[in-house]
Amino acid sequence: MSFKDELLLLLRARYPVIYVSTLEEERVEQVIAATVQELGNRSLYIWDFVDGYQGNPNDQGIARRNPLQALEHIEKLPQSVAALFILRDYHRFLDDVAISRKLRNLARRLKSQPKNILLVAPQIDVPDDLAETVTIVEFALPGVDEIKAEVSRLLSSLNVYLSPKDLDTLVQSCQGLSIERIRRVLARGIAAKGTFQPDDIDLVLEEKRQTIRQTQILDFYPAKEQISDIGGLDNLKDWLLRRGNAFSEKARSYGLPHPRGLLLVGIQGTGKSLTAKAIAHHWHLPLLRLDVGRLFAGLIGESESRTRQMIQIAEALAPCILWIDEIDKAFAGVDGRGDSGTSSRVFGTFITWMAEKTSPVFVVATANNIQSLPPELLRRGRFDELFFVGLPSQDERKSIYEVHLNRLRAHNLQSYDIERLAYETPSFSGAEIEQAIVEAMHIGFSQDRDFTTDDILEAASQIVPLARTAQEQVEALQTWAASGKARLASRTSLGDRLR
């Protein structure tokens, strides 16, 4: 049921006090005004603390800086007068005993009168003594149709036209923003270049960053990495590329559900986190990084509250990527021992949301230790796919060297013997390969010359790869993946990876 339909139903049912939670005051008042027109023969009064009542000439300025008088004015109107009263920011006064008592008394009378009070506020803050009096209704952010209509109107008014595909991508990127923020970000792009181009969609992601800067639970992570920056992992990349337009309206019309998420299990330094960043960049979606440790607070019930808040933020910014790094460490020991069951409750809330969510929040979770993951997390329905990311094969190591050297020495790439480098560094992860190149750069820089293939090999000889220092754990992971419990991210077999 839409907000307008729900509001219309509550007004006709004579709910006396309705609390509307939204940051979009202007937009919600437009919807309320349209709803009042449908009811017919009903006056609309608007009050705020600074200007008092507005709109009606006979009541102009009444109850200015007097919230109690604002309620008394409602009481003075004849019982037969049909009216709707919008009280802005009235949540700030509900803790006052006189206001609370007056509102409860007034609610009794209004049940038999064609009058309703709407408290419009940016957050829900209802005292316990008003819990039975007030009905809370949330005003959702604009949907796809509303965003598309507003974006099309703004662009056409400026003689800017996008292709249907670019328009669909822009509308998808704008989901999670208020209409006012959408107007601002479009104006920003047009002001900078005189027009709005598909490349300016990144401005929308920057605007979304502003939305979560005040929260201490999620981080807006800048994602500049591309799919091409991932060396190897061809099966995983093909899987991701096939889903590049899965969040579009065209996909919904086709009947496709929103992709749910991806669990990447594997050895440290093999590109799992890089993949999360590349997904966000390729799909033009904001990347939200969740530090699960921030969910846990000292007060009883606060951890569960923060979990729900995290979910609300992610869904408000949807479509988006929710990246949970090293989820195996975050939810290890969810049996509740030592924390009065807080971990279990937080985990339960989280996996229930993952299984039941309908919002386009794509969860990318990474894990190094499959044994630490609760079995519930691996159940089908939480994620679309479970990929194992192992040590790169020789061909994949070659791709990884090419990615790094092309970024650092594109003009001189042919001077490096990439085949030899890939052959001479068996069992190296992508992170260890990068470390060897950085160390080689230090060698060359210290001698006032460019680094060479021999420098990289010398640096690599000083590195003891994780495949040796944690041989038992790596072999256990390889054995687990070989048993068919996960899809391989690479096309090469597990046996080829150590060669």
- Which tens digit of pLDDT belongs to each residue from 93-105? 999 999 999 999 9
What is the pLDDT, as a whole number, of residue 496?
Answer: 53
User: Residue 189 belongs to what domain range?
Assistant: 144-214
Same domain, 258 and 379: yes
Same domain, 128 and 244: no
- Domain of residue 152, CATH code: 1.10.8
Residue 300: C-alpha distances to residues 95, 229, 297, 337, 365 (Å): 23, 44, 8, 16, 27
Average pLDDT over residues 47-74: 91
pTM value? Answer: 0.67
Same domain, 59 and 157: no
**Do residues 389 and 267 lie in contact, with contact meaning Cβ atoms separated by under 8 Å?**
yes
Residue at 45 is within a domain: yes
Return phi, psi of residue 380, to 5°.
-60, 140
Residue carrying the six token digits 């944690």: 470
What is the pLDDT, as a whole number, of residue 29?
Answer: 95
pLDDT digits (tens, 9 = 90+) for 444-470: 999 999 999 999 999 999 999 988 888
Asked if the bond preceding 319 is cis, omega within 30° of 0, the reply is: yes
Average pLDDT over residues 319-346: 74
The set of long-range contacts for 26-30, using a CB threshold of 8 Å and a minimum separation of 24, is: 26/180, 27/139, 27/142, 27/178, 27/179, 27/180, 28/3, 28/120, 28/139, 29/86, 29/120
Residues near 243 by Cβ (< 8 Å), separated by ≥ 6? 259
Q: How many CB atoms lie within 10 A of CB 262?
A: 24
Same domain, 438 and 318: no
Same domain, 182 and 156: yes
Average pLDDT, rounded, for the chain: 87
What is the pLDDT, as a whole number, of residue 41?
Answer: 84
Average pLDDT over residues 215-232: 81
What is the pLDDT, as a whole number, of residue 335?
Answer: 57
Same domain, 413 and 366: no
Residue at 492 is within a domain: no
Same domain, 374 and 436: no
Average pLDDT over residues 295-319: 73
Same domain, 86 and 104: yes
| Structural domain total, the chain | 4
Residues near 497 by Cβ (< 8 Å), separated by ≥ 6? 390, 391, 392, 393, 478, 490
- Mapped onto helix, strand or coil, the DSSP state of residue 381 is coil
Same domain, 97 and 234: no
Q: Strands, DSSP E only, in 319-462?
A: 320-324, 361-367, 385-389
Residue at 481 is within a domain: no
- Domain of residue 314, CATH code: 3.40.50.300
pLDDT above 90 covers a percentage of the chain that reads 43
Last residue of a domain, one of 389, 416, 451: 389
Same domain, 7 and 80: yes
What is the pLDDT, as a whole number, of residue 498?
Answer: 46
Query: Closest Cα partner for 223 from 135, 289, 177, 269?
Result: 289
The set of long-range contacts for 295-301, using a CB threshold of 8 Å and a minimum separation of 24, is: 295/217, 295/346, 296/339, 296/342, 296/343, 296/346, 300/340
**Do residues 305 and 311 lie in contact, with contact meaning Cβ atoms separated by under 8 Å?**
no
pLDDT digits (tens, 9 = 90+) for 274-301: 998 999 988 888 889 988 877 775 544 5
Q: What are the b/e assignments for 177-203, b being 16+ CB within 10 Å?
A: bbbebbeebbebbbeeeeebeeebbeb
Structure tokens at 179: 């209409």
Residue at 496 is within a domain: no
Same domain, 53 and 129: yes
Same domain, 226 and 162: no
- Domain of residue 422, CATH code: 1.10.8.60
Q: How many CB atoms lie within 10 A of CB 432?
A: 24
Q: How many alpha carbons lie under 13 Å from residue 38 in its C-beta half-sphere? A: 13
